[in-house]
Amino acid sequence: MSEVTRLPCWSDWKWQQQNSVTTLEELVGAFPGLACSSRLEALRNALDTRRVSLTPYSLGLIQTDAAQRPLEQDPLWAQLIPEFAAPSPFEYDGTTENWELDHEMVTGICQHKYDNRVIVRAANVCHAYCQFCYEALRTLEIRSPKPGLKKSEWQATLDYLEAHPEVEEVILSGGEPLMLSDARLDAMLQSIRAVRPDIVIRLHTRALTFNPFRITQALASTLARHQVTAVGLHVAHPRELTDAFFTAVRALQRAVPLLFANIPFLAGVNNHLQTLRDLCMGLYRGGVTPHYLYQFMPFSPGHSRYAAPASEAISLLRQLKRRISNLAVPEFVIPHVTGKHTLPLELGGPPTRIETDAEGNEAIHFTNWKGQACVFPQ
Ligand code: SF4
């Protein structure tokens, strides 16, 4: 344990936020070996347009070499520090939305993409910035063109919920909704409950990786008081599963009925069997269901750096399915602009299909984990 992690302020989420590293000079201060690194100039250029922010906690997770340079392949460094790699035809252009279609935005912050639920962009900021974010226009752009959480936008969102009883669920997402203060979240949840006492409330967060101290007892009580049903944790690598992460998990488990995890599938971070195994088993052991493994979304930043083939994810998940409980194996989804789509874990061989024979009997034909053709009669 370093001296700084022993300070009482270390586990104060506001202190973590206020002491985040956001400039090149501060990064060099944290990693002195960077000063004589060939990466310095590229980093300076990247920071001109992209938001970068690392809490002292997330800085502490990054491993360094003997010269106090961050290891290039460190999973936290790889996620949080921009790097403009080779151009790709599917690269983000810094201006075009890839996920929030205009006709889905029923208010500036409320997206009605799926039939029975809406996503509310409760904040355009985060504890730290994932350089592959598919909400990049909101989060990574220093001069974000997206509207933020204003009183008028929030009232318009409440009016929409009140007028649309077919909306059965509201998802507070972002950015990072837990960048808001407890008082603000409390007021927002209360106002949702005032217009829609029946609605399911879900919240998505990456705070447990970047600032797990955000999960205070007061926050947990607020979520419980307003009957938040589910919290989705976003996580990418087993090194994020620290003691502090699980302390936060346990606090949430006492307050919220359902905890699950969404995992972005990222080249150089988690496209590896043992890494995915450790991540999924670690979450499952802690009582968090690994729910989705997300394929990289085209036209998000860092395509040539982060996108790994979908066939690789399918192959890894098929192998996982033979090795660990199905409860610990996430569903593989592609975030298509029309909505997420689950891919079957099929590789090679003909796809699963239902066939009817001459007598009218149906049978399911599929390829098993050994690659053998199988028939399941009805
Ligand atoms: S925390 Fe979430 S919203 Fe924020 S940059 Fe990362 S992926 Fe995007």
Per-residue pLDDT of the chain (378 residues; tens, 9 = 90+): 566 777 889 999 999 999 999 999 999 999 999 888 788 888 888 888 899 999 999 999 999 999 999 998 999 999 999 987 677 888 898 889 889 999 999 999 999 999 999 999 999 999 999 999 999 999 999 888 898 899 999 999 999 999 999 999 999 998 999 999 999 999 999 999 999 999 999 999 999 999 999 999 999 999 999 999 999 999 999 999 999 999 999 999 999 999 999 999 999 999 999 999 999 999 999 999 999 999 999 999 999 999 999 999 999 999 999 899 999 999 999 999 999 999 988 766 788 899 999 999 999 998 887 778 899 988
Tell whether 363 is covered by a domain.
no
193 and 324 in a common domain: yes
Structure-token pair, residue 196: 């829609």
Cα(322) to centroid of ligand 1, in Å? 32
**Look-up of token digits 């985060």:** 126
Position in ligand 1 atom list of the atom nearest CA 206: 1
131 and 74 in a common domain: no
Q: Which amino acid is at 74?
A: D
Q: What is the structure's pLDDT at 325?
A: 96
232 and 168 in a common domain: yes
Cα(134) to centroid of ligand 1, in Å? 8
Q: Residue 166: which domain range?
A: 102-347
Cβ 282 vs Cβ 242: under 8 Å: no
Q: What is the structure's pLDDT at 347?
A: 67
Pocket perturbation via mutation, ligand 1, pick of 131, 206, 231 by most ligand atoms within 8 A of CB: 206
Tell whether 370 is covered by a domain.
no
Tell whether 362 is covered by a domain.
no
Tell the burial category of 344 from Cβ atoms under 10 Å away from its Cβ (0-12, 13-18, 19+): exposed
303 and 231 in a common domain: yes
Q: What is the structure's pLDDT at 371?
A: 78
Cα(126) to centroid of ligand 1, in Å? 6
Rounded CA separation 369/371 (Å)? 5
Position in ligand 1 atom list of the atom nearest CA 134: 8
Cα(285) to centroid of ligand 1, in Å? 25
Instruction: Count the Cβ atoms, other than its own, within 10 Å of residue 276.
Output: 25
Tell whether 306 is covered by a domain.
yes
Position in ligand 1 atom list of the atom nearest CA 131: 5
121 and 63 in a common domain: no
Instruction: Pick the closest to residue 204 from 121, 295, 285 (CA basis).
Output: 121
- Could you tell me the CA-to-CA distances from 306 to 44, 46, 192, 221, 336 in Å, in that order? 21, 16, 37, 37, 17
Cβ 91 vs Cβ 141: under 8 Å: no
The set of protein residues with a Cβ atom below 6 angstroms from ligand 1 is 126, 129-130, 133, 135, 139, 174-176, 206, 234
30 and 174 in a common domain: no
Cα(367) to centroid of ligand 1, in Å? 37
Nearest-CA residue for atom 3 of ligand 1: 175
Cβ 251 vs Cβ 209: under 8 Å: no
Cβ 70 vs Cβ 34: under 8 Å: yes
Pocket perturbation via mutation, ligand 1, pick of 20, 80, 109, 133 by most ligand atoms within 8 A of CB: 133
Cα(151) to centroid of ligand 1, in Å? 23
Cβ 199 vs Cβ 169: under 8 Å: yes
Q: For the chain, how big is the Rg over CA atoms in Å?
A: 22
Cα(75) to centroid of ligand 1, in Å? 15
Cis-peptide, bond into residue 175, ω within 30° of zero: yes
Instruction: Pick the closest to residue 134 from 91, 170, 179 (CA basis).
Output: 91
Position in ligand 1 atom list of the atom nearest CA 129: 5
- Cα four-point dihedral sign 125, 126, 127, 133: negative
Position in ligand 1 atom list of the atom nearest CA 173: 3
Q: What is the structure's pLDDT at 177?
A: 98
Instruction: Count the Cβ atoms, other than its own, within 10 Å of residue 13.
Output: 21
Tell the burial category of 222 from Cβ atoms under 10 Å away from its Cβ (0-12, 13-18, 19+): buried
Helix (H) / strand (E) element for 253: namely helix 243-253
208 and 74 in a common domain: no
In sequence order, the 6+-apart residues with CB closer than 8 A to the CB of 151 are none
Nearest-CA residue for atom 7 of ligand 1: 133
Tell whether 44 is covered by a domain.
yes
Tell whether 290 is covered by a domain.
yes
Cα(139) to centroid of ligand 1, in Å? 7
115 and 62 in a common domain: no
Global pTM value: 0.94
Pocket perturbation via mutation, ligand 1, pick of 22, 111, 120, 139 by most ligand atoms within 8 A of CB: 139
CA angle 321, 261, 258 (to 5 degrees): 110
Nearest-CA residue for atom 6 of ligand 1: 130
Q: What CATH number does residue 134 fall under?
A: 3.20.20.70
DSSP strands (E only) in the chain: 110-114, 117-121, 169-173, 200-205, 230-234, 258-264, 289-294, 331-336, 339-342, 353-356, 362-367, 373-377
Q: Domains in the chain: how many in total? A: 2
Cβ 136 vs Cβ 127: under 8 Å: no
Q: What is the structure's pLDDT at 123?
A: 96
263 and 226 in a common domain: yes
Cα(232) to centroid of ligand 1, in Å? 13
114 and 75 in a common domain: no
165 and 121 in a common domain: yes
Instruction: Pick the closest to residue 252 from 178, 330, 193 (CA basis).
Output: 178
Tell whether 147 is covered by a domain.
yes
Q: What is the structure's pLDDT at 1?
A: 52
Cα(359) to centroid of ligand 1, in Å? 54
Rounded CA separation 246/282 (Å)? 10
DSSP 348: S
Tell whether 185 is covered by a domain.
yes
Position in ligand 1 atom list of the atom nearest CA 127: 1
155 and 192 in a common domain: yes
Position in ligand 1 atom list of the atom nearest CA 140: 5
